[in-house]
A and B are shown apart, each in its own frame.
Chain A
Amino acid sequence: MDAIVIQILNGLDKGSAYALIALGLTLIFGTLGVVNFAHGALFMIGAFCAVTFSKFLNLSHIVIDETRKDFLGNPLKVEVPYIYDFFGQATGDAIIDWAVPLSIIFAIPVMIAIGFIMERGLIKHFYKRPHADQILVTFGLAIVLQEVIKYYYGANPIPTPAPAAFAGSFDFGAMLGFDPNQIIYPYWRLVYFAFAAVIIGAVFAFLQFTTFGMVVRAGMADRETVGLLGIDIDKRFTIMFGIAAAVAGLAGVMYAPINSPNYHMGMDFLVLSFVVVVVGGMGSLPGAVLAGFLLGILESFASMAVVLETLPGINQIIIYLVAIIILLTRPRGLMGRKGVMEE
């Protein structure tokens, strides 16, 4: 039983990432009708926003320490962050420690700007082109973005730790009445799950309870009619692209402490996120979220030693297997809408 609980918990945080990426993908597909293969790259850029902000906080000047030697035997050049000069060492250290959560403030405008530039600069030219063209150009863009990141940050993962207050783990099992030390769960993963829930809730609330959201939903249902009413729906859809980019970026920012960011992390999530969108139902926002968590949990279960002993390699194909079964039984996905991608 405790093994099942821990795998559900594991699935929740991975599912959170899938759900956030798939949510953005569905927003873009539902509004602009574009299959955006660069969405994984936006997740990766979000994680690198956290890396960049952390590096920015650690910008230093050199102080020569004559009492210590470097690896060549020369006096050691000690790097002192500028932030110490402004706030003192204790406050400076605390700010650096909280670099990842603080980088959200930095990431939101950056990601919205990147979203705008991507949409206005490249993707809008492909609205009337076949989906194959859109896939090719956005996939190409994803490769360019990840190579740019690799050029500046290198190929190795860059450690980006969570604040010390959330660094450890806690005994979740004991809280539920299981034996002690059987279900251990890291604090940060719980934070990630809660954060994802807030973001998903905020996106739904934005679409459901604001006039802007209402117009966007109307545009998703019938773009032409909304246009005929004199509403500039394209402008609103561009803003939605920026919001979708910000959602992917924030998913990346908060994911940085879970796995050290590297240039390839977007691609690792991209394909699975597309499966999530298809399983959830093309264009269905609740479907994307539901499928994200469902497939995240299934993937966790398939990685259990006892399952792997019975069905070796199942962990690598489970998502695709379930996707096939769902699509065979429900061709529009779990919550797919009639008419989407069917014309």
Chain B
Amino acid sequence: MSFKNLTRRGVIKTGAIAGAGLALPTYLRADGHSGFTNAPQGDTVTLGFNVPQSGPYADEGADELRAFQLAVEHLNGEGDGGMLQTFSSKALDGTGILGKKVQYVSGDTQTKSDAARASAKSMIEKDGAVMISGGSSSGVAVAVQALCQEAGIIFMAGLTHSNDTTGKDKRANGFRHFFNSYMSGAALAPILAKEYGTDRKAYHLTADYNWGYTTEEAVRSSTEAMGWETVNAVKTPLTATDFSAYIAPVIQSGADVLVLNHYGGNMVNSLTNAVQFGLRDQTVNGKQFEIVVPLYSELMARGAGANIKGIIGSQNWDWSLEDKLGARYTGTNAFVQSFGTKYGFPPSQAAHTCYVQTLLYADAVTRGGSFNPCSVVEALAGFEFDGLGNGPTLYRADDHQCFKDVLVVKGKENPENQYDLVEIVEVTPAEQVTYAPDHPQFAGGSLGTCNPGA
């Protein structure tokens, strides 16, 4: 061993690099002493909003981000307070969270699991986000939820509808306010029976990924239970744009109902193609041919234009809920007023669920008295609340899924304006869409225990 090449400058350089290397983990985990990841320092707390800002769901992501910004304003005591005034829990007082001013960072999921994980990781490690929320895809939600569990961060899911998010892929650090495929099936079945009868032959076109499978399974099992027969179920590539080749065989199959387990651009195109091919003008087996879209969204309805008229589907929430169905859905109007005044148009259900999730997180921290994820989990699990637009709601402890009323909607025949696209056919009470935690559609996986991280 020789020290011949040892120079003063070299020692300083090596020492500086080694020192920085050793200090980096401490910098990234400055909360080490507090017992959980990214414990807020100083008088601010940072939340991370991970939404699709590019790609096919960018418009949905933009609406989610608007809602997050509004929620942050309201938490910090700015604006008209929105749903803070109607929320059954009165822990939040507009002074931030536990007296710390709320600030936020945002990331772009690009609706891709790997990009979503990378942006969530960056917000956690570089920006010190103590909670991650957002999403517009179940694949993204499941991936980011797993990341948050490993990192010791709370994940408040945005728009994700697959059973798996709170089924086989559930995690203790993850919570979902949005409804799921099973609930859509359970809510739709009685209405479909009432509107179209119990002797029907259904043909499913299903998007070839996680959400499509669980939605098809949920709708099939609930419609078959009431007497419908499933004639065929065909998987369609997520990248498909022209569905005519899939639509044409429907007519020849003897089916009299087409179920489109599609979302976003897929749904807009498949529905448009189905209507173009005259399916809705057909009479099959002596019955009028019908189309069902299990998961509706306002933005999709706008994309489908006049083709959406009369099509039945389900929704988590609608901006006209309180006006049409009364005070049970209090909070809706307060949110629509805030959002509409700030942005000039009514919020989508994606915006609603993101806004509510932010408030619920802030409330849980405040009630628990700590940002520690385990304290948040304890405060949210089994929490019953009201006044956030969906009526009385339970955050079930077994799987961290919210249970509340589900809307069955129909595309409006004569919309009065560009936002008035759906009419509420019926509200299915929460009891009818509630299932056992070990229901076969949610089997596998385990919630595990909360992870506080550092």
Contact = CB atoms under 8 A, between A and B. Distances in A.
A, B assembled together: yes
Interface stretch (B72-80, B178-186, B244-252): B244-252
A186 B55 contact: no
Contacts of A169: 276-278, 281
Contacts of B273: 258-259
Interface residues of B, number: 54
A337 interface: no
Interface string A293-321: 00000011011110010000001100000
A3 B249 contact: yes
B303 A71 contact: no
Interface string B49-69: 000001111110000000000
Contacts of A305: 232, 234, 249, 253
Contacts of B345: 71
A154 B248 contact: no
Interface of A is mostly: mixed
A168 B419 contact: no
A284 interface: no
B282 A184 contact: yes
B341 interface: yes
A161 interface: yes
Contact of B299 (A72, A156, A259): A156
B281 A154 contact: no
A71 B336 contact: yes
Nearest to A171: B278
Contacts of B251: 181-182, 184
Interface in B222-276: 232, 234-235, 237, 239, 241-242, 244-246, 248-249, 251-253, 265, 268-269, 272-273, 276
Interface of A: 2-3, 6-7, 10-11, 13-14, 68, 70-72, 76, 150, 154-159, 161, 168-170, 181-182, 184-186, 188-189, 258-260, 262, 264-265, 268, 299-300, 302-305, 308, 315-316
Contacts of A262: 56, 265
Most buried by B among A3, A182, A305: A305
B59 A71 contact: no
A277 B276 CA distance: 30
B86 interface: no
Contacts of A260: 268-269, 272, 303-305
Most buried by B among A10, A11, A268: A10
B337 interface: yes
5 contacts: A159-B268, A169-B277, A186-B277, A264-B56, A316-B237
B391 interface: no
B303 A157 contact: yes
Contact of A159 (B242, B244, B303): B303
Contacts of A189: 244, 276
Contacts of B320: 71
B241 to A, nearest CB: 5
A169 B274 CA distance: 11
A71 B340 contact: yes
A262 B268 CA distance: 11
B416 interface: yes
Interface in B376-423: 416-417, 419-420
B281 A3 contact: no
Interface string B312-351: 0000000110000000000000001100110001100000
B118 interface: no
Most buried by B among A6, A11, A156, A188: A156
B303 A156 contact: yes
B276 A155 contact: no
A161 B340 CA distance: 29
B302 interface: yes
Contact of B58 (A11, A155, A315): A155
Nearest to B299: A156
B56 A186 contact: no
A260 B270 CA distance: 10
Given A10-B245, A305-B249, 10 more contacts: A70-B417, A72-B341, A156-B268, A159-B304, A169-B277, A169-B281, A181-B251, A260-B268, A262-B56, A305-B232
